[in-house]
């Protein structure tokens, strides 16, 4: 009996997701169909329809799992210790200096290899 209840719930979830998708497709179609009307009104209408489709989709089991994932991700972001402005500036300066140093080393390496290649091929003059 429990299996049939789960199957019915899954079918209902599929139906809700289909309705949400059709609503979203219909909203996009209406946005372009009513191109002669104000863009502001069309955008507001599309946002309203998208919100309705999202509300329907969030009533399904996959939608609830997605919402739980988003909530968990927000909670984890709040736990992050962000660097101070001074740390950010110092790190940026170190990265910039290292980029210049590595660029110079690669340029010198390229010059040496080019000189060796010219010597070996006899194109150096």
- pLDDT by residue (tens digit) across 49-75? 999 999 999 999 999 999 999 999 999
Q: 19 exposed, middle or buried (CB, 10 Å; 0-12, 13-18, 19+)? A: middle
Q: Where are the domains of the chain?
A: 2-79, 83-125
DSSP state of 36: T
26 vs 5: which has the higher pLDDT? 26
Q: Which runs of consecutive H residues, i.e. helices, occur in 59-84?
A: 61-79
Q: What is the pLDDT of residue 2?
A: 58
Length of the chain: 125
The mean per-residue pLDDT over the stretch 30-42 comes to 94
d(CA 70, CA 105): 45
């Amino acid at each position: 009996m429990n299996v049939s209840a789960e199957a019915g719930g899954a079918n209902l979830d599929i139906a809700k997701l289909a309705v949400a998708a059709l609503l979203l497709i219909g909203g996009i179609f209406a946005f372009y169909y009513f191109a002669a009307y104000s863009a502001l009104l069309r955008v507001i209408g599309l946002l309203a329809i998208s919100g309705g489709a999202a509300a329907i989709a969030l009533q399904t089991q996959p939608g609830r799992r997605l919402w739980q994932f988003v909530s968990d991700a927000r909670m984890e972001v709040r736990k992050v210790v962000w660097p101070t402005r001074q740390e950010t500036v110092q790190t940026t300066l170190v990265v910039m200096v290292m980029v210049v140093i590595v660029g110079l080393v690669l340029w010198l390496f390229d010059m040496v290899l080019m000189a060796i290649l010219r010597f070996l091929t006899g194109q150096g003059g």
